[in-house]
Amino acid sequence: MEVREMGDTGVLLPEVGIGTWKFSGGVEPIQRAISLGATHVDTAEMYGTEDVVGQALKGRRDQVFLATKVSGSHLRYDEVMSAADGSLARLGVDHIDMYIVHWPNSRVPIAETMSAMEDLVEQGKVRYIGVSNFSVRELKEAQGAMTKHRIVSNQVLYNLRERRIERDLIPYCKETGVTVVAYTPLDSGALSDKPLIRGRQGVRALESVAGEVGKTKAQVALNWCLSRENVITIPKANRVEHVEENCGASGWMLSSEQVRILDEAFG
């Protein structure tokens, strides 16, 4: 598994991790991911999967970069602190590697939220702070509220079909040392083994490129995400064989021409 530095922290994260939104696979897929080097495991308080992630990590905690999220409806100072303690308990760990604001909430001052996040770092409960679903404007506001630490990642929707972040968010994150973590990189399975009904030009291009490189559609779709600098992925996989397939997206790269073909076909 190839790795990329998270911002300028010196921490190396796998190009392909494992996400657990709508996850129902039990401990085996997570444990297989870890054994294959997909050691970035992502969950959230609202997913209802922290318990199973905690079970999967037993005896493996030191091998994993563990990320979880505080709900966007729990962003008052006391709520953040309480949510973090709840996540730590459900996960059965003594610290979270990256604690993430799941989505922005305009009803709560961002300075109040980020003060709590920074205090969690000071207390040793959290190592790094991230955000999710933040626009450039919202990210700038959050960054401006930081006094002791910094935001190192922004977890956002990104795949061949959802590319709105390319215009401004990806460049801004690269400029400011914020790693882009692409969630739903397989478009909820539509870019893997599920029949693609819409976007026939994209389907043909994806299948053609997959044939050229001798990879599956899912592997090509994930590798396309990785063709962007400063981007890593966290696909969900309920089955061990899908974990193995996803991990096979790392360690090679599409050619610039193949990337261009996919860009145009899905643009």
Number of domains in the chain: 1
Q: Where are the alpha helices (DSSP H) in the chain?
A: 27-35, 50-57, 77-91, 110-122, 136-145, 169-176, 200-213, 217-226, 240-247, 256-266
Tell me what the pLDDT averaged over the chain comes to. Answer: 96
Q: Give the single-character DSSP code of 17.
A: -
At residue 189, the pLDDT reads: 83
Q: Is residue 125 part of a domain?
A: yes
**Residue 239 sits in a domain of what CATH number?**
3.20.20.100
For 192-234, the pLDDT digits (tens) are 866 554 557 888 999 999 999 999 999 999 999 999 999 999 9
Mean per-residue pLDDT for 17-44?
97
At residue 267, the pLDDT reads: 82
Q: Is residue 94 part of a domain?
A: yes
Question: Is residue 173 predicted with pLDDT exceeding 60?
Answer: yes
> pTM of this prediction?
0.95
Query: Bridge partners of 66?
Result: 41
Q: Is residue 266 part of a domain?
A: no
At residue 195, the pLDDT reads: 55
Active site residues: 47
Provide the residue range defining the domain that includes 29.
3-188+221-251
At residue 145, the pLDDT reads: 97
Where does the pLDDT of residue 152 fall: very low under 50, low under 70, confident under 90, or very high at 90 and above?
Answer: very high
* Contact between 170 and 231 (Cβ < 8 Å): yes
Q: Is residue 215 part of a domain?
A: no
Mean per-residue pLDDT for 84-100?
98
